[in-house]
Amino acid sequence: MSGNDDPAALKVLAAVVLPVGSHGRDPLDLSDSLTPLNRMVDAVPSESTTIRAFNTLAKQIAGGNATPQQWRQAQQWLVLWRDNDARLQPLLARSYLTEELVPVSHNLSQTAALGLQALDDLQNHRSEAADTIHKDIAFLKSAQKPQAELILAVAPSVELLVEAAGPR
């Protein structure tokens, strides 16, 4: 898809997105048997163990039941996702097959940054201002909308962390 020998950054993105339809492309898409299946929406499965595991971690952390190891794992994933955009953007721009992923990757980076801020607030027993929480949640809701026929499936879990870090 990317024409790059090292697809690691693309795999990071692929691990946290799901196709809009349960079988890949949007059912209203007018593709036929001659349509090449060479987009990310065609390559990602309809389930992800990474998404499921992160969702479990977010629930544990938001509920105050996470172990130190779970906190570290959540933070490691969020840092990976935040930083992946810088590695991926130059690669995405080189191919018409991947340029549609530019906003998806950017949204993942911003979503992860919000998640890291929420983790920091929760660990340090700080609450963000209500207007900041509302702005962050509005962004996360928009990040959950399909782009390139993909859904950024970790955004709801990050939203859970942001809500937990909000005013009580």
Tell me the average pLDDT of the chain: 89
Question: Domain for residue 142, yes or no?
Answer: yes
Question: Domain for residue 2, yes or no?
Answer: no
CA 23 – CA 41 distance, rounded (Å): 9
| pLDDT at 25 > cutoff 50 | no
CA 49 – CA 94 distance, rounded (Å): 29
Q: pLDDT > 90: what percent of the chain?
A: 75
| pLDDT at 22 > cutoff 90 | no
Question: Domain for residue 32, yes or no?
Answer: no
Question: Domain for residue 30, yes or no?
Answer: no
The encoded tokens of residue 96 equal 């018409």
Least confident of 4-13, 20-29, 37-46, 137-146: 20-29
Question: Domain for residue 31, yes or no?
Answer: no
Instruction: State pTM to two decimals.
Output: 0.90
Q: What is the tally of structural domains in the chain?
A: 1
Question: Domain for residue 152, yes or no?
Answer: yes
Domain that holds residue 19: 8-24+38-164
Strand partners for 95: none
CA 30 – CA 21 distance, rounded (Å): 14
Question: Domain for residue 121, yes or no?
Answer: yes
- Quick: pLDDT tens for 69-104: 999 999 999 999 999 999 999 889 888 889 999 999
Question: Domain for residue 3, yes or no?
Answer: no
- Quick: pLDDT tens for 109-135: 999 999 999 999 999 999 888 999 999
- Quick: pLDDT tens for 52-74: 999 999 999 999 999 999 999 99
